[in-house]
């Protein structure tokens, strides 16, 4: 049995070890990482105060719009919304814009149009992007990295330069001015970012999960739907919220594809009608405010309903801890 003594430890190494492991005040001062410093800065009282101030500044105009939408025309013209506490409130503004007022078509038909446009425009890119992201992440095929870089590079292409060619193509194949032109356009514009985000999320999944599924005899279809899809649900929900908000608030693509036709019986979304109302009812703030709040109410409801999935999609990893 060897009785050789270990080599002496230098004073510098000994001091560093003592700083970490001893219970002295010097030992309690551990090394602080950049991520830890950032986390402490974000959760500090000063950061919380700044966040509260920004939240109040951001929501004040929305609250003013809500109060104005319940006031009559006379009160709006005489006093500001912050002086509305002593005035009367009414639901007549909403009944007029929903059922049609001042020669304008009812908003209920266009709310349905917005949902008909938004829902397929969310699920179609999610389906295609998740399949493409799985292929880029876990299937080895020729030129995989080059194709992924090409898809990623499409994010920097402005959608405005593609609108006119798309309109021409849709007119040639007979779907111009229909829902299909909007579904395909929104899906095409969303795919590059969706593929990139879902691919990065899938790459965080341990390969051992897929290898275990292959040992059990699962193919690509079964692995995707039974193994990966439950794990990437938070990421799908997060991007779905972003895509829904984008499509619901879109005006440029809708006007371009539908030719500006926002009359009754058209396929126009709610944003096109609000654009017309701002021109024809520009001096009737009581109707404009009610119509605008109807437009923003649905995205707010969707976001608040799916908020927990949105946060999980931003913070969660590939596996559940």
Q: Are 73 and 140 found together in one domain?
A: no
Q: Are 226 and 163 found together in one domain?
A: yes
Q: At what angle do helices 285-305 and 45-69 cross, to 10 degrees?
A: 140
Detail the DSSP E strand segments found in the chain.
Answer: none
Q: Are 248 and 163 found together in one domain?
A: yes
Residue 77 forms part of a structural domain: yes
Residue 168 forms part of a structural domain: yes
Domains held by the chain: number: 2
Q: Are 82 and 116 found together in one domain?
A: no
Q: Are 150 and 63 found together in one domain?
A: no
How many Cα atoms sit within 13 Å of 288 on the Cβ side?
14
Helix (H, G, I), strand (E, B) or coil at 295: helix
pLDDT for residue 26: 45
Q: Are 153 and 236 found together in one domain?
A: yes
Nearest CA to 125 out of 234, 232, 243, 253 is that of 243
pLDDT tens string, the chain, 321 residues long: the values are 444 454 554 444 444 444 444 444 444 444 455 555 655 665 678 878 888 899 898 888 888 888 888 888 778 777 888 877 777 888 888 888 888 766 677 888 889 999 999 999 999 999 999 999 999 988 888 998 899 999 888 888 888 888 989 999 999 999 988 899 999 999 999 999 999 989 988 888 888 888 888 888 888 888 888 888 888 888 888 889 889 999 999 999 999 998 877 766 678 898 888 887 766 655 667 788 888 888 888 888 888 887 777 666 655 544 444
In the block, residue with structure tokens 């111009």: 176
Residue 23 forms part of a structural domain: no
Domain that holds residue 142: 109-315
Whether residue 42 contacts residue 50, with contact meaning beta carbons closer than 8 Å, is answered with: no
Q: Are 67 and 117 found together in one domain?
A: no
Q: Are 72 and 119 found together in one domain?
A: no
- Residue 15 sits at the vertex; the CA angle it makes with 13 and 20, to the nearest 5 degrees, is 100
Q: Are 178 and 46 found together in one domain?
A: no
Q: Are 225 and 309 found together in one domain?
A: yes
**d(Cα 141, Cα 269) in Å, to the nearest integer?**
41
Residue 119 forms part of a structural domain: yes
Residue 224 forms part of a structural domain: yes
- CATH number reported for the structural domain that contains residue 149 in this entry: 1.10.3720.10
pLDDT for residue 15: 47
Q: Are 83 and 204 found together in one domain?
A: no
177, burial (CB in 10 Å: exposed 0-12, middle 13-18, buried 19+):
middle
Q: Are 138 and 61 found together in one domain?
A: no
Whether residue 27 contacts residue 20, with contact meaning beta carbons closer than 8 Å, is answered with: yes
């Amino acid at each position: 049995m060897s009785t050789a003594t270990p080599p002496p430890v230098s004073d510098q190494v000994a001091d560093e070890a003592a700083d970490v492991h001893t219970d002295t005040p010097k030992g309690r001062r551990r090394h602080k990482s950049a991520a830890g410093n950032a986390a402490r800065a974000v959760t500090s009282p000063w950061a919380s105060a700044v966040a509260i101030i920004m939240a109040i500044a951001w929501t004040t105009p929305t609250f003013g719009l809500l109060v104005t939408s319940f006031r009559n025309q006379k009160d709006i013209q005489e006093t500001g919304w912050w002086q509305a506490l002593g005035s009367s409130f009414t639901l007549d503004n909403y009944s007029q814009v929903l059922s049609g007022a001042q020669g304008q078509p009812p908003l209920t038909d266009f709310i349905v149009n917005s949902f008909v446009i938004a829902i397929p425009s969310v699920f179609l890119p999610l389906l295609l992007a998740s399949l493409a992201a799985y292929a880029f992440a876990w299937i080895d095929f020729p030129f995989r990295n080059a194709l992924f870089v090409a898809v990623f590079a499409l994010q920097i292409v402005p959608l405005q330069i593609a609108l006119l060619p798309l309109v021409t193509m849709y007119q040639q194949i007979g779907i111009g001015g229909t829902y299909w032109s909007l579904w395909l356009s929104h899906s095409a514009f969303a795919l590059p970012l969706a593929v990139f985000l879902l691919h990065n999320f899938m790459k965080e999944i341990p390969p051992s999960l897929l290898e275990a599924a292959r040992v059990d005899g699962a193919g690509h279809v079964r692995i995707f739907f039974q193994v990966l899809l439950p794990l990437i649900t938070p990421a799908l929900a997060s991007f779905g919220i972003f895509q829904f908000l984008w499509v619901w608030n879109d005006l440029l693509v809708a006007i371009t594809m539908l030719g500006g036709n926002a009359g009754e019986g058209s396929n126009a979304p709610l944003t096109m009608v609000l654009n017309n109302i701002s021109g024809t009812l520009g001096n009737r703030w009581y109707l404009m405010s009610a119509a605008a709040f109807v437009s923003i109410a649905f995205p707010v409801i969707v976001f608040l309903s799916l908020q927990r999935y949105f946060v999980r999609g931003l913070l969660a990893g590939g596996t559940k801890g």
